[in-house]
Amino acid sequence: SEEEEEESCPIEEDPKDHSYHMVFTHNFFLNVVEENPILEPSNEDKISIQEYDERQD
């Protein structure tokens, strides 16, 4: 499944690239939602943002 493929590429491999990607995706998505309130995040986007927020703790 897709989830298994993601798990096979651990975040520890390149945390800098992953963190940048998550921050960029998170900020970009927030900008899109602010400009287009009707748009809803896909489940994948929601999960990605949630995981990113959890890592900041």
Render 2-39 in DSSP notation, one character per residue: HHHHHHTS-GGG-HHHHHHHHHHHHHHHHHHHHH-TT-
pLDDT of 54 reads: 72
Whole-angstrom distance, CA of residue 31 vs CA of residue 24 = 11
What pLDDT, in 10s, does the model give residues 1-57?
555 555 555 545 555 555 555 666 666 666 665 665 555 656 666 666 666 667 665
pLDDT of residue 7: 52
DSSP classification of residue 9: S
How far is C-alpha 23 from the geometric centre of its chain's CA atoms? Answer: 7
pLDDT of residue 43: 62
Q: pTM score, two decimals?
A: 0.19
